[in-house]
Structure 1
Amino acid sequence: MDGSDGGSIAGDSEEFEYEDQDVELKSGGEEDEDQMVIEPPEVRKAPYTIMNAGDLANRQNKCISEASDLLQVTHEEGFVLLRQHGWDLLRLQEAWFDNDQKVRNRCGLSTAKCTSPAPSSNLAGPKVCSICMSAIDDLVALDCSHGFCEECWRGYLHTQVDDGKSAVQTRCPQHKCPMVVPTAFFSRFCDVERQKKYQDWCLRTYVDENASVKWCPNPVGCQFACEYQGVESLEIHCQCTFVWCWACGEEAHMPASCKTVNQWNVKNSAESENISWIRAHTKKCPKCHKPIEKNQGCNHMVCSKAGGCGHEFCWLCLGDWASHGTSTGGYYQCNIYDKQSKQGKHAEEERSRQEAKHALDIYMFYFERFMDHDKGMKLTVIQEQDIEGKVQRLHDEHGFAIIELQFLYDALRQVRACRRVLKWTYVYGYYLDDSNEKPLFEYLQKNLEEKTDCLHEMLEKDFDKIFFDQDNQLSSGSEEAHQKFMTFRSHATNFTNVTQKFLTQILTDLGSDTGLGQRFSQSST
């Protein structure tokens, strides 16, 4: 769609200003279009391939054809051989030329070289079906010559398909016969619905049994798969917008390692957090040792008889409440430390409880910020849909070219990437024990957080100030508003560049083998 650069919009007569962000921004007005383009990570040249169902089918057929031509086998046999060798043609080739008969036996293929596309035959003459024990003139058999009637074949294959995707490994119905049932039999005896299921499972084997191909693990569901021939860990940008880690299959989590992410996920879901809360906020009844939470102000505690023992004690010293009378020196003598009493034990329990509370406070500090950035990252998906509507309205009613508004998508995707990284920096920081590394880590984290929040606010609020009123209606056209838009576009584009630099810096520094503390001291100098 085309649009005129001279499209006019209306805006407030006030000067549209930006707060000083302590970064160098290029001036507004007429810009070089080349410097306005921010290439998002998703579209950069990647060493992997994202494939849909059609791409997977083509890739699978190409792989089977290569194996069939190389080994001089049928397409059916090529499928079975590759599946049994993890779709690794090199591995199959080595095993095949070492001993092809051994490979055939292991994969459930006929040891005789078969040239027909469907290794099956009809056994002529009166025979008895081994399943239904009926005398049938024509039995259907594989190359193993175990014959069965068509009805028994149909029932057997239907059952195999209904049992699930293991149908691709179906063997001859004869007991302990290793002969694999070819795809042609499923096409011959199964109904249309079951044929489709079986074909889908055959396609899925190319991903499920292939070390070089993985499904996108988007928790909301995704039909795309990724093929990657490398060995190092990599962030995968799927076409569904989900970014995930090739090594562990979790959401992309730089700068945190896969091991750290696993620890964090276990910690978030483990019962140990409940135990930490109990230790931090309760005390054990001195008599029955049940945990008790103080829910009133006074220190006179009564262990509940429902699940407890009814014992009355003092919250401060855990002593018997009956000993807190006038005959023992008054109710509040437990504030006097007695070295010869059992106060030492109680003090130790109190220290342990305070340590647990402190550890829980630290965890909650990092967890709350982790979830805040997670929520902000997910909101950008909704905001992108909102921007799509606004961009279309600006194009239709004010004549702006779609390409002029592309910077909004680029900036929002940059915010999403930064939110994701910031989210995992809090996991990285939670497990960071080296005090020498803390200063630079927190410095880098603060800078990226500041710039990300500024860019996010710019997209959420400043853009609407130019074009839309309080009722989300487009303002009338004016050259002044158009000039404000050009200034805003320049600021947003350059701020996106600045934010990208801070993102690159934190990933480079935290992902480097060089000590963070050493680099921080050098930068401070």
Structure 2
Amino acid sequence: MDEDYYLSYEEDEEAEEEEEDNDMYDNDKYQQAEQHEPEPSAKSTSQLITNESLVAAQKEVLARVMDLLTVKKSQARTLLIHYQWNVDKLVDVYSEKGREILFKTVGLTVFDRRPSLSESRYSLKKKKMSCEICMEDGLQSYTMTTMDCGHCFCNNCWKEHFTVKINEGMSKRIACMAYKCNAICDEDVVKKLVHPEVADKFDRFLAESYVDDNKRVKWCPSTPHCGNAIWKEDDDGEVECSCGHQFCFKCLCESHSPCSCLMWKLWSKKCEDESETLNWITVHTKMCPKCSRPVDRSYGCNLMTCICGQHFCWLCGGATGVSHDMTTIYGHSCGKFKEDKVKQMEMAKRDLERYTHYYHQYRSHKDSSKQEDKLRASVREKAASVSAKKDYVMHKDMTWVTDGADMLLRSRKVLSYTYVFAFYMFGEELFKKEMSDEEREMKKNLFENLQQQLIGYIERLSKTLNQPFESYTSDELNKMKAETINFRDVVKNLCKEMYNCVENDLLGTTPSAYNHKIASYSSDGIEKAIEFGADMVLGSSGRTSMSQQDS
């Protein structure tokens, strides 16, 4: 294994001097690890919804609303789409404002329209009608359709109206054609009047509405798209799809805790635009007034000469002649050099160096995590090889080494995002006015101390797992097992301390902490969405689902 693969947090000479201190720290941490009891596995708060289970998941919520409000399926869906499939909110509005206001708000009629006594089936068959859209007269009643709102037009006009709305791909609730009528047309009538292929498309839109219009359900943002959706009890946190993609449920970006969504958004934009580099170039160079190439000044003279032959003044960028003396440039005068220009250059250089430092650390650990993802697969193969050996009876259970590899990958990713967090937490972009210089320095030292400890033990765990243990003797395996468990548990505890520090000591003491909520740490890794099933009620919080169970 290439030695450059490992990221060292100490110089080699310092590491040798501190080896004895580290061993003492190991013993303390090892004792903590031995006393640490395994955490109970948390109940999953997310479910995986595949294309096959999407209709079933939607059907479950529809059935509950139909039962609660005594409405038909199309009406229940219209209500749920309007209230973003939030059953609790829907029931609250129904309880507070009543059925009539609830229906009127979403464009439904309270009662289905019934023909009067004079409009018997026999009389309707004989009655000639006209369509106010196409202005065609003498139409038979069976070629006309009346919606629940009472407006009646010919089937061809309804068909064209519905087809256009469906093909636009934006209409899950299609309103009536009548002027200033906002009533929603019955989805069953819509599907009956359009062509079968258009009806299928409309059916798909209605089914996908459960994801598109639901705050608690989101499509997995994997590329290429796996076709799965995730239902989550809370609208934040991190989750893993069955396709293996891990993402932040709130912003749909890659999982990035302990970095907040706002920090990650700013960081991604900065890395994409290379804004700091462009800022440095802007301050440290001047554009040639002739060819517009950036020109850097390598010595103190303010008379610049571009490679195109154009002479210009460094102070203001204006074109000049070729001659100059101690005080003036021939054919040009722009005053004295200003002190704020020097300060501006120094600040730009400092900002660039700071950004470069954090980006290098972030990128290095991200690259290491990619290598350790491959290492995890290798460790699993080696563990299976050891377990298969007949002479290694006491080493049939090799979960200690696979757990170590899982923890290594998880902690390495966490470590990489701590540099993004530190860049914004201790910079001037987000929290400049919320911390004094002394407070910022104190918090920075606290954070970096934990960060350095975490780096050290991640590297030691990585080095331990990179051993060729498939050829080890039983005694050598026992020694490696003790080291792996020790380093694994120390890393786990340090990750917890890091998250506690971020949530309580850093973000928890800033006024704008509500803008930087982070996903909680789990030693088992990012929560995996479980398969959709009847054991979890989707589409509402606990109080509505409990009321259903109690009834």
What SS does the aligned partner of 1:256 have?
coil
User: Out of 278, 283, 286, which is 1:283 matched to?
Assistant: 286
Distance 2:164 2:247 in 1: 37
State the Cα distance separating 1:491 from its structure 2 match: 3.2
* 1:93 alignment counterpart: 91
Superposition map of 1:391-470 within 5 A: 404-431=397-424, 432-433=426-427, 434-459=440-465, 461-462=466-467, 465-467=468-470
Distance 1:84 1:75 in 2: 14
Distance 1:399 1:197 in 2: 62
Distance 1:36 1:394 in 2: 28
Distance 2:479 2:371 in 1: 26
Distance 1:408 1:442 in 2: 29
> Cα 1:190–1:62, aligned 2, differ >3 Å: closer, same or farther?
same
What SS does the aligned partner of 1:109 have?
coil
Distance 2:343 2:171 in 1: 60
The sequence identity of aligned pairs, in percent, is: 22
> Cα 1:344–1:406, aligned 2, differ >3 Å: closer, same or farther?
farther
State the Cα distance separating 1:400 from its structure 2 match: 8.8
* 2:341 alignment counterpart: 349
Given residue 256 of structure 1, which amino acid in structure 2 is its aligned partner? C
What SS does the aligned partner of 2:146 have?
strand
* 2:310 alignment counterpart: 310
CA contact (8 A) 1:86 1:210 kept: yes
CA contact (8 A) 1:36 1:493 kept: no
What SS does the aligned partner of 1:95 have?
helix
Superposition map of 1:91-170 within 5 A: 91-97=89-95, 98-113=97-112, 124-125=125-126, 126-129=128-131, 133=136, 136-137=139-140, 138-139=142-143, 140-150=145-155, 152-164=157-169, 166-170=170-174
* 2:64 alignment counterpart: 66
> Cα 1:220–1:394, aligned 2, differ >3 Å: closer, same or farther?
farther
> Cα 1:439–1:151, aligned 2, differ >3 Å: closer, same or farther?
same
Given residue 412 of structure 2, which amino acid in structure 1 is its aligned partner? R
1:199 aligns with 2:199: no
State the Cα distance separating 1:378 from its structure 2 match: 4.2
Distance 1:376 1:427 in 2: 16
Post-superposition Cα deviations, 1:335-392, rounded to whole Å, max 9, x if no partner, equal: xxxxxx9895166434422321221111111112222223333444455555566666
Given residue 372 of structure 1, which amino acid in structure 2 is its aligned partner? S
Distance 2:228 2:37 in 1: 28
> Cα 1:404–1:162, aligned 2, differ >3 Å: closer, same or farther?
farther
Superposition map of 1:241-390 within 5 A: 241-270=244-273, 272-273=275-276, 275-283=278-286, 292-294=294-296, 301-303=304-306, 310-311=310-311, 322-323=322-323, 345=337, 348-384=340-376
CA contact (8 A) 1:380 1:416 kept: yes
CA contact (8 A) 1:38 1:493 kept: no
Distance 1:105 1:493 in 2: 63
State the Cα distance separating 1:295 from its structure 2 match: 9.2
What SS does the aligned partner of 1:437 have?
helix
Given residue 310 of structure 1, which amino acid in structure 2 is its aligned partner? Q
1:212 aligns with 2:216: yes
> Cα 1:114–1:314, aligned 2, differ >3 Å: closer, same or farther?
closer
- Which structure ranks higher in relative contact order (CA pairs < 8 Å, sequence separation ≥ 6)? 1
Given residue 58 of structure 1, which amino acid in structure 2 is its aligned partner? A
CA contact (8 A) 2:248 2:255 kept: yes
> Cα 1:295–1:347, aligned 2, differ >3 Å: closer, same or farther?
closer
Distance 2:199 2:376 in 1: 40
1:45 aligns with 2:48: no
State the Cα distance separating 1:269 from its structure 2 match: 4.0
Distance 1:112 1:175 in 2: 21
* 1:338 alignment counterpart: none
Post-superposition Cα deviations, 1:151-202, rounded to whole Å, max 9, x if no partner, equal: 55444434333221x2311123444432323332354345565444433322
Superposition map of 1:467-482 within 5 A: 467=470, 481=473
Post-superposition Cα deviations, 1:47-80, rounded to whole Å, max 9, x if no partner, equal: 6222213555434322222221121111221111
Distance 2:377 2:199 in 1: 39
> Cα 1:35–1:214, aligned 2, differ >3 Å: closer, same or farther?
farther
> Cα 1:342–1:161, aligned 2, differ >3 Å: closer, same or farther?
closer
> Cα 1:291–1:398, aligned 2, differ >3 Å: closer, same or farther?
farther
* 1:510 alignment counterpart: 502
CA contact (8 A) 1:109 1:180 kept: yes
CA contact (8 A) 1:256 1:424 kept: yes
Query: Structure 1: which 5+ runs fail to align?
Result: 1-18, 27-33, 116-120, 335-340, 468-474, 518-525
CA contact (8 A) 2:113 2:149 kept: no
Distance 1:25 1:260 in 2: 37
> Cα 1:484–1:158, aligned 2, differ >3 Å: closer, same or farther?
farther
Distance 2:211 2:161 in 1: 26
> Cα 1:416–1:384, aligned 2, differ >3 Å: closer, same or farther?
same
Distance 2:177 2:138 in 1: 17
Query: Structure 2: which 5+ runs fail to align?
Result: 1-18, 29-33, 115-120, 328-332, 428-439, 510-551
Relative to the length of structure 1, the TM-score reads 0.70
State the Cα distance separating 1:303 from its structure 2 match: 3.3
What SS does the aligned partner of 1:50 have?
strand
Given residue 263 of structure 1, which amino acid in structure 2 is its aligned partner? L
What SS does the aligned partner of 2:181 have?
coil
Post-superposition Cα deviations, 1:382-440, rounded to whole Å, max 9, x if no partner, equal: 55555566666667787999983444443333223212221221122223151112222
